[in-house]
Amino acid sequence: MRWPAPLQRRLDAWVSRRLPPGRQVTLNQSRIFIVPTRQGLLMLGLALVVLLVAINFESSLNYALGFWLVAMLWAAVHLTYRNLSGLVVQAETAGLVEAGENVSYSLMLSSPRSRYRGPLEFRHEDWGQVGAEMDGRDTQVTLSRPTSQRGRQPLPRFRLESRYPFGLVVAWSHIKMDLDAWAYPKPVEQRLQPVGTEPEGDVSNDHFVQAGTEDFHSLREYQAGDSVHRMHWPSFSRDELVVKHFVDYQAADQWLDWHALPGLAVEMRLSALAWHMLRCQQQDRPFGLRLPGYEIEPDKGQRHLERCRRALAEFGELR
C-alpha cells in the first residue's frame, strides 16, 4: 500500500526513528507489527454470515460455529506473532561487485530457543521476496540487489514478514541492518599519461624485483636461516660461507596513479584505474595503486586486486 508522498515520508521517518539500524536486531514487541490480512478480515465477514444463518434459522450450533471462527482469528494472532518474536537478525557479510552487477548480503537468523518459525519472507522492491524457512536455532539468508553506481551499497530497510501458519494475520517488522556492500567502478579503457614523479630510465629496466626460486642471480653471504640446499659448496672449501641467491624475473612495477589521468571526471578516472587493474591482473603483472591520500604498494594476485577495487569503491567516502 502506498500513501500520499508527504505522509509516506513522515511514516518512513517515524519507522526509522522507531526501528534504528544495528549490526544485530532482536525482534520484540516494540519492533513487530501485527494486523489481520485481507484474508483474515474475510474470515471475520464469513463468521458474521454464519452468525446471520444462526439467527435467521435459529440454529444454535451455528452460533457456536460463528464464534469459533472469530476466536480462531484471535488465536491465529498469537501463533503468527510467535514466528517473529525473539528472532535475532544478524548482519554477516556483504559483497564487492562491479557497479551494475547484483550484490549480495548475507544475514544470519537465529533464536535463543529452538522453534519452528515457518517460512519467513524478506521483502523489498529491489529483490522482490526472498523466503527462508526457519526450523531450529539458526539459518542463513542471502539477499541480493542490483547496483547502479560505484560506492557504498547499504542494505536498504526491508520488510520481514510472516503469515504462517494460517495467513489470517500478518506480522512484520521493518528492519534496517548496519551492513554495507561496495561496488567498484565499471572498467573503461583510458590511456595513462606518464606522471612526472615516476622514476624513468634504468629503473624500468630492472626486471627482477624480488627474491625467488627461478634463476641464479649472485652469491651472497650466509645468513642464519638460509637453507643448506642453497649453500655454495666450492666456496665452503675456501672457508667462506656463501649461498646462492635466486630471483624471479618480473616486469616492472606499474603504478596506477590517479594523476596519470588528467582531464577526466572523478568517476571516469576511477573507471580507468579499474580497467588498468584488470589488465595488469590478466597479464599477471604487479601493480600499485596511488590515489590522493592513499596508496597501495605494488603486488599481484586476486586478494591484491580485491583490495585495490575496494579502495576504488570506497573512494570519496570518509575514512
Partner 1 sequence: MTQFVPIMHRVMPLPVLWVLLLVQGVMVVPFLFYLPPWLGVVFVLVLIWRWRVTHGDMRKAPRSLIVLAMLVGIGGLLLSGLRAYNLDSAVALCVLGYLLKSLEVMRRRDGIFQAYLGYFLTGIFLLYNYTPVGALVAIAMVLANTLALHAVTADQTFCWKRGTKLSLALMVAAVPIMIAGFLFFPRLPPLWSIPNDERGAQTGMSDEVDPGSVASLAQSTEPAFRVQFEGDPPPRQQWYWRGTTLGEFNGRVWRARFRDRNRFQWPRGQLPLAQPGAEQFEYSVLLEATQQHWLYFLDWPTQVRGQEAYVLPDGRAARRNSLSQTYRYEAQSAASVTWPNETALQWYQRLPEQGNEALRQWGLELRQNAGSDAAYIDAILNHIRTEPFRYTLQPPQYLSADSLSDFWFDGRLGFCSHYASAVAYLARVAGIPSRLVGGYLGGTYNQSGDFIQVRQMEAHAWVELWLNGQWQRVDPTAAVAPGRIDLNLDDWLSEDNPSDLPFGARFGRNLGPFNDLRFWWDSVQYQWQVSILNYQQSNALGLLEARFGRINPWHAAASMAVFLGVLGLLMAWFTGLLQLPRRQPEPWASLRRVERQYGNRHTGETVSDFMTRLAYEHPGQREALARLAQLIDTLAYDPQAMLDASRRRDLKQRVEACLK
Q: Which residues contribute to the site for partner 1 (CB under 8 A)?
A: 39, 42-43, 46, 49-50, 52-72, 74-76, 78-79, 81-82, 85, 113, 115-116, 118-119, 125-129, 133, 163-168
CB of 261 to partner 1, least distance (A): 36
Instruction: Kindly tell me which of 50 and 270 has the beta carbon lying closer to partner 1.
Output: 50
Instruction: Kindly tell me which of 183 and 305 has the beta carbon lying closer to partner 1.
Output: 183
Cα 283–chain centre separation: 29
Whole-angstrom distance, CA of residue 82 vs CA of residue 78: 6
CB of 129 to partner 1, least distance (A): 5
Instruction: Kindly tell me which of 119 and 288 has the beta carbon lying closer to partner 1.
Output: 119
Instruction: Kindly tell me which of 71 and 266 has the beta carbon lying closer to partner 1.
Output: 71
Instruction: Kindly tell me which of 122 and 258 has the beta carbon lying closer to partner 1.
Output: 122
- Grid cell, residue 134, equals 526457519
Q: List phi, psi (to 5°) of 81.
A: -55, -35
CB of 106 to partner 1, least distance (A): 19
CB 24 within 8 A of CB 112: no
Q: Report which residue type is found at 57.
A: F
Task: Give the SS3 label for residue 55.
Answer: helix
Instruction: Kindly tell me which of 80 and 271 has the beta carbon lying closer to partner 1.
Output: 80
Q: Report which residue type is found at 75.
A: A
CB of 116 to partner 1, least distance (A): 7
- Grid cell, residue 292, equals 590522493
Instruction: Kindly tell me which of 63 and 222 has the beta carbon lying closer to partner 1.
Output: 63
Sign of CA dihedral 271, 276, 279, 284: negative
From the number of C-beta atoms within 10 Å of its C-beta (0-12, 13-18, 19+), residue 208 rates as middle
What DSSP designation does 307 have?
Answer: H
Instruction: Kindly tell me which of 13 and 71 has the beta carbon lying closer to partner 1.
Output: 71
CB of 46 to partner 1, least distance (A): 5
Element of type H or E holding 232: none
CB of 179 to partner 1, least distance (A): 20
CB of 143 to partner 1, least distance (A): 12
Whole-angstrom distance, CA of residue 36 vs CA of residue 167: 9
Task: Give the SS3 label for residue 205.
Answer: helix
Instruction: Kindly tell me which of 37 and 190 has the beta carbon lying closer to partner 1.
Output: 37
- Grid cell, residue 147, equals 547496483
Return the closest-CA partner of residue 69 out of 102, 96, 42: 42
CB of 313 to partner 1, least distance (A): 24
* DSSP-derived secondary structure for 93-150: EE-EEETTSEEEEEEEEEEEEEEEEEEEEEEETTTEEEEEEEEEEEEEEEEEEE--SS
CB of 45 to partner 1, least distance (A): 9
Scanning the structure block, which residue is given the C-alpha cell 450450533? 61
